[in-house]
Chain A
Amino acid sequence: QQQVKQSPQSLIVQKGGIPIINCAYENTAFDYFPWYQQFPGKGPALLIAIRPDVSEKKEGRFTISFNKSAKQFSLHIMDSQPGDSATYFCAATGDSSYKLIFGSGTRLLVRP
């Protein structure tokens, strides 16, 4: 119940494409869902986060879509650029647990 399942494992798109990364969870106590971006040799960095009281959140070219009934959320990257090539992790936590549970990661490659 503590797992967060992430797919796909890897993704290749052309510049300008819209990669979509999906995550699913089981624990209904989760109420905070961040996405982290990690470049090789660096630690993960917070990209964008959402709470389940909204179905969508946009920050620049990054959008989270959230489906509470399906217990799923996804990251969309609009007008993707080669500089977006990185590994993306979804995560989840609940205020009562505070522990971040990470997905397994998606390696994104954006071709020029």
Chain B
Amino acid sequence: EAGVAQSPRYKIIEKRQSVAFWCNPISGHATLYWYQQILGQGPKLLIQFQNNGVVDDSQLPKDRFSAERLKGVDSTLKIQPAKLEDSAVYLCASSPRGGAGVTDTQYFGPGTRLTVL
């Protein structure tokens, strides 16, 4: 079974530029998560999708971050414009069921390391 795929693996941009990350979850997984992992910290949930609907985006900085999940499968996370403090690893994860009242294993991709100069 293929794992969660993410691209690109690395990205370096100047502040105020835009950047987009792509995630392909494990086939059949209903729930998709985007996390931000700042160096030396644990992952922090940015947004959670159940199929193609948003379940939780309470920690997503909506003035600059946006995300969508096309047809309930792939997802893109965009930052526009980027700030220095956005430098982090952006992790995508998926789980088979997810959603309120359900706890199941989240499978993480390798992440995209973003450096904002």
Complex Cα gap A99–B99 (Å): 9
In this assembly, does A91 line the interface, its C-beta being within 8 Å of a C-beta of chain B? yes
Residue in contact with A41 in the complex, picked from B41, B99, B105, B110, CB distance below 8 Å: B110
Known A45-B108, A95-B101, A96-B100; judge A105-B42 contact (CB<8 A): yes
Cβ contact within 8 Å between A46 and B91: no
Query: Per-position contact with A for B77-117: 1 when CB-CB < 8 Å, else 0?
Result: 00000000000000101000011111101111111000000
| Cα–Cα distance between A43 and B94 once the two chains are bound (Å) | 12
Number of A-B contacts (CB under 8 A): 59
Known: A43-B110, A43-B111, A99-B48. A89 touches B43 (CB 8 A): yes
Residues from chain B with a CB closer than 8 A to the CB of A93 are 103
How big is chain B's contact interface, by range? 20 to 34
Q: Give B contacts to A, CB under 8 Å.
A: 4, 40-45, 48, 55-56, 91, 93, 98-103, 105-111
Q: Which residues of A contact B (CB under 8 A)?
A: 4, 6, 32, 34, 36, 41-46, 89, 91, 93, 95-100, 102-105
